[in-house]
Amino acid sequence: MRDLLFLSHRIPYPPDKGEKIRAWNVLGHLARSYRIHLGCFIDEPADWQHLPQLRRICADVACFGIDRRWGKLRSLLRARPGLPLSAGYFHDLRLARWVEGRLAAGIDRAFVYCSAMAPYLMEARGVHRVLDMVDVDSAKWTQYAKQAAWPARLVWAREGRTLLALERRAAATFEHTAFVSEAECRCFTSLAPEFLAPEMAGRVGWFDMGVDLDHLSPGLELPCPFDQGGPDLAFVGNMNYRPNAEAAGWFAQAVLPELRQAWPELRFWIVGANPAADVLRLAALPGVRVTGRVPDVRPYLAHAAAAVAPLRIARGVQTKVLEALAMGCKVVASPQAFEGLRLIPGRDLLLADGAAETVHAITGILQGRHPGLGAAGRAAVEHGYAWTATLAPLDRLIAGPVPDPSSPSVFAERIA
């Protein structure tokens, strides 16, 4: 087996949120064909316990700790003109030296997860590099800026500009750059039109998100996590992630009261780890339940009348939507949460834009007007989002030829 350098901005285990789910499944897939040398960061102390799981499938594991508060301060202290703060947060001399050692030992093939990790290999020569940018993170920061007040607006707008510049340089330098969907790839090329030129063909593309269809199945017998009463609606996601927290607050305040006029016992369950302070405060509202971290989200999806994904800021593909569909749960999603999914609205899930449409869609489900929705959603995920199918294009990208170390990157020079 050949050696492969795998860099990730966060430890790719446990697969309990979107970024880790994709990273973990990619890692497991590549470990079947390569000896993996994994370099990553840990910024949640509880994640140190998962190193044995990684060492079972990797030939070499180098994890470096980041204190979140110090890391944010350090990124501010290292701020330089044109440099995104996120690149400063994930810059670490220990990892840089480890990467240099692996390359010096002869590793000539690399997979990099997240644009913030690209600088570790931007200057590497004689290495076939594949970057999974996943989302266009710069566009997310630009969205944040449009909705923020001063001074956050200035900081986030700057992050959007500087991160886009880094994304463009990385895509021009690496042999291949992938995204999580065709829609996300098109978003990037709209912001970086140089990649639409014929000579750039093949340098950017995508491979879809996937779902573990055995782990997430409507056929599983799972205990009901809800108290008597209901009906119950579930929103699943990491709750210190700004778009999730904002969406939970919007639904609890703009949609739930209207629904409870018709169903006074209806409850809205916010299910996910690390709820931010503003999410915790939502538990004081009638009908709102905030669980924090739970050992298994599947029972909530299995027994909910519907899963909601009311995100108003979103990038890439929402794993929470695919997982709810895989469980056979009826889903109501905002257009932002639906973006990038190869599904048919009205057949596989319901789309709702704004409070009135969301109330109408959920009312239809609670009144029994969409009896086949859950089964159709599960069938659609089975057809298009099994990991074995979505990861197949990655094999070709990783197996590409190793570039001549003496040849400069013509594409990178054009962007610079």
pLDDT digit string, tens, across residues 145-175: 888 888 888 888 999 999 999 999 999 999 9
Give the chain's length.
416
pTM above threshold 0.85:
yes
Q: Could you tell me which residues come within 8 angstroms of residue 361 by beta carbon, excluding any fewer than 6 positions away?
A: 332, 350, 351, 352
Q: What is the pLDDT of residue 18?
A: 82
Phi and psi for 195 in degrees, rounded to 5?
Answer: -80, 0
Note whether 2-207+391-415 and 232-386 share their fold: yes
Q: What is the 3-state secondary structure (H, E, C) of 281-324?
A: HHHHCCCEEEEECCCCCHHHHHHCCEEEECCCCCCCCCHHHHHH
**Distance in angstroms (rounded) separating the CA atoms of residues 259 and 285:** 14
φ, ψ of residue 10 in degrees (nearest 5): -140, 155
Place of tokens 């000896």: 35
SS (H, E, C) 348-379: CEEECCCHHHHHHHHHHHHCCCCCCHHHHHHH
Pairing type for strands 350-351 and 2-8 reads unpaired
Note the pLDDT tens digit of each residue in 52-73. Answer: 999 999 999 999 998 877 666 6
The rounded distance, in Å, linking the Cα atoms of 115 and 163 is: 9
Whether cis (ω within 30° of 0) applies to the bond prior to 403 is no
Q: Chain-wide mean pLDDT for the chain? A: 92
Q: How many Cα atoms within 13 Å fall on the side-chain side of residue 320?
A: 29
Which two three-digit tokens encode residue 304?
């909910």
Q: Is the peptide bond before 218 cis (omega within 30 degrees of 0)?
A: no
pLDDT above 70 as % of the chain: 94
Q: What is the CATH number of domain 2-207+391-415?
A: 3.40.50.11720
**Nearest alpha carbon to residue 307 among 258, 264, 263, 272:** 272
Residue ranges of the chain with pLDDT lower than 70?
A: 70-81, 406-416
CB neighbour list of residue 342: distance below 8 Å, 6 or more residues apart: 208, 384
Q: Does domain 232-386 have CATH number 3.40.50.11540?
A: no
- Residue of 211, 236, 350 whose CA lies nearest to 296: 236
Question: Where along the chain do its domains lie?
Answer: 2-207+391-415, 232-386
Report the side by side order of strands in the sheet with 60-65.
60-65, 34-42, 2-8, 109-113, 128-134, 176-179, 204-206
Report whether 290 contacts 276 (CB < 8 A). Answer: no
